Amino acid sequence: MSRVLAVAAGLLLTPPLASAQATAAQGVADPRITALVASVSPERLQATATKLASFGTRSTLSDTVSTTRGIGAARRWIYDEFKRASPKLQVAFDRHMLARQGRITREVELVNVVAILPGRSARRIYISGHYDAVNPRGNAPNNPGAGAGAAGGDAQMRAEMDHNADAPGANDDGSGTALTMELARAFANSGLEFDATLVFVTWAGEEQGLLGAMVHAQTLAAAKGTVTANFNNDIVGSSLGGNGIIDAESVRIYSLGPEDSMNRSLARYIARVAGVYVPSHTIRLMAREDRFGRGSDHSSFTAFDFPAVVFREANENYQRQHNTEDKPEGMDFRYLAQNTRVNAAAAASLALAPAAPKVTTGGGTPTISRGTTGYDAALQWEASPGAAGYRVYWRNTWSNDWERSQYVGNVTRFLLPNVSIDDYVFGVAAVNAEGHESLVSAYVSPNRRMQEVQIKK
């Protein structure tokens, strides 16, 4: 039988930290993660992004035979680099034959490059970026001005588009690809044994509609895979915006709502952990799925209810996107290294932690009630494998981040006397014996379904 812990409403203060409570989410660093974060190299990131740009183009429909140019040469090089990074990585091509559709103007084999670092459990944490590039501006024969949205229409929809024209894609998204490859090396050589399985993926087909991530995610969903998080990175390597403003001290993280979705829980988690391991870097949480009217591969994960966010540099230069000007010379590799370190800290903390507790019944009903008095907050959750205890969070309903928390020990029920579930939002996270904390699972009030009133005519 589960033990129940009740705390008087007047004593809802966080107690002194014990070993099972000392989490990065609560401001305490793990020296092993500190070492992993410190291992990120701006020089390796620069060398990787420069090599990716040297393939000339990485368009999804570009050359696959050449050993020096096109997407085929690029993906083989990425594969070899993953293999070279560590024998612990299980490296594979994730292949899918696509029919003609949309911007895919002919049948093509789409190939994601995947490196898996097995953990103690099958649940997955993804770190990703897309390695394909595109130049729809200035390379469509007979219509040199026809980029996406131009008067001539979408150049990628034209069968005559030259997919082998120069598209270096150093920042979009050589930056996210370099970050992913650097972290595959760093995690595999960290000496850490993770609870979650880490999956490092460079996607293809992003520029044609998030196709590589989408086919991967839909396959994963069909197999009933478990995903704790997707850290997606798309355009994260330049500190100089097209407006001349330099910002090398912050990064934007976009997450799909509502505010108590696991996407938002992941975003909040990243901000808290980054404050411990990369305190000089400001995390700007953005309350929307992505930039206005634009998207990236994380949306393929949220489409199947897998928690995901996307990292974006603080201030983009639109004049260096989707054209021949997206070169390594326009990047800031110390800034890219900071964004890589934020990914590393949050992903490592999350991968070492247990899975987030389940706070609903099999039918999806939140396991929260008003207790026997009608005026208390009575919380219940399922035990998470590997958890040594749990931390309960709560906040005002109009606030968008947690305001209080209480470590409650190794119980699966908790009672807050005289704290109304009508006035506060509650959540719970699992904590292991080393102090690593999961995402917070929030108790979400279901929307009331209304039925139209039948009117006699």
What does DSSP assign to residue 170? Answer: T
CB under 8 Å to 222, separation ≥6 — which residues? none
- In three-state secondary structure terms, 79 is helix
Return the closest-CA partner of residue 411 out of 378, 365, 375: 378
pLDDT of residue 137: 74
* Residue 23, pLDDT above cutoff 90: no
Burial of 151 (0-12, 13-18, 19+ CB in 10 A): exposed
Gap between the Cα atoms of 184 and 89, Å rounded: 8
Cis before residue 258, ω within 30 degrees of 0?
A: yes
Whether residue 15 is predicted with pLDDT greater than 70 in this model: the reply is: no
Average pLDDT over residues 388-408: 96
pLDDT single digits (tens) 169-224: 999 999 999 999 999 999 999 999 999 999 999 999 999 999 999 999 999 999 99
Distance CA 236, CA 335 (A): 8
Mean pLDDT of the chain: 92
Residue 168: CB partners within 8 Å, gap ≥ 6?
A: 53, 56, 57, 133, 174, 324, 326, 327, 328
SS3 451: coil
Token duo for residue 200: 């490092």
> Residue 80: pLDDT above 60?
yes
